[in-house]
Amino acid sequence: MQSRRIGEVQVSAIGLGGMPMSIEGRPDEERSVSTIHAALDAGITLFDTADAYHIHADEVGHNESLIARALASYGGDTSDVLIATKGGHLRPGDGSWTVDGSAAYVKKACDASLERLGVEAIGLYQFHRPDPAVPYAESVGAIRDLLDAGKIRMAGISNADPAQIVEANEILGGRLVSVQNQFSPAFLSSTAELELCDQLGIAFLPWSPLGGIGRAGGLGGGFAEVAERYGVSPQRVCLAWHVSKSPVVIPIPGASRPATIQDSAAASSFELTASDLALLP
């Protein structure tokens, strides 16, 4: 497994997104735990989660708790694992997604995540999504306060535009280490954010890097052509394409089956040639 950097921490070049294991259509816990263990066996050390990855209103933090239990039951060393979680997005339990970027809520959410993860400080805490009703400076200011208080070791943001990336980095005193935005062959509108992160040396974590839940199998065109050339999956080619974009890119594909994350992990060492890349976006 190749490694990349978030802040001063080295992590696997491919992470695991935990959302499919906790929202609608999720598998039973045994399969989810097996998936997390398979990721660890494959050398994955970055696990992305959020308190909003759940279904019912009475199970906030379902995915955080699941990952914590899976890590605790793993037989090997997990000391180099970085858990990245998020706060500021909510699921009332009726299938909808809402936001609360108030400083009070963000700090309360962080405290709850700390308890669920069972850690003294969260490795990477990210403001999940801007709240139109709250000044961005207030939301990111809460993240700064958590960083200063030692409740989180590193700070990131998600679903941000270039201006918000610059503003967040200023508020955090140059300590912004990651930006997590949607980015995939079917969703290239975060290209400007990726390029800005590359310039600033900030990790860029594409969410839904394969196109989203249920759409990963639809990778065709150049991805299918390159995959056939090497006898690998189009999904592996897609993740290798992500990694080739910049040294700051660390895709976090979601998975809920061991075989899926094993295939994704293999993309870390799959190098695309110039002729391969000419066929891709």
Q: Environment class of residue 77 by beta-carbon count within 10 Å: exposed (0-12), middle (13-18) or buried (19+)? A: exposed
What tokens does 204 get?
A: 């860029």
- Name the active-site residue from 53, 105, 125, 136: 53
Query: What one-letter code names the amino acid at 228?
Result: E
Q: Which helix (H) or strand (E) holds 64?
A: helix 62-73
Q: Which backbone phi and psi does 190 adopt, to 5 degrees?
A: -95, 20
Buried b (16+ CB within 10 A) or exposed e, 178-190: bbbbbbbbebeeb
* Separation between Cα atoms, residue 192 and residue 170, nearest integer Å: 19
Establish how many alpha carbons lie within 13 A of residue 186's alpha carbon, considering only the half-sphere containing its beta carbon.
Answer: 14
The answer to whether residue 105 is catalytic is no
**Pairing assessment for the beta strands 89-90 and 98-99 based on DSSP bridges:** antiparallel
Q: Note the Cα 162 to chain centre separation in Å.
A: 18
Please spell the DSSP secondary structure of 2-47, one letter per residue: -EEEETTEEEESS-EE-GGGTSTT---HHHHHHHHHHHHHTT--EE
Give Dmax over CA atoms of the chain in angstroms. 53
Q: What residues act catalytically? A: 53
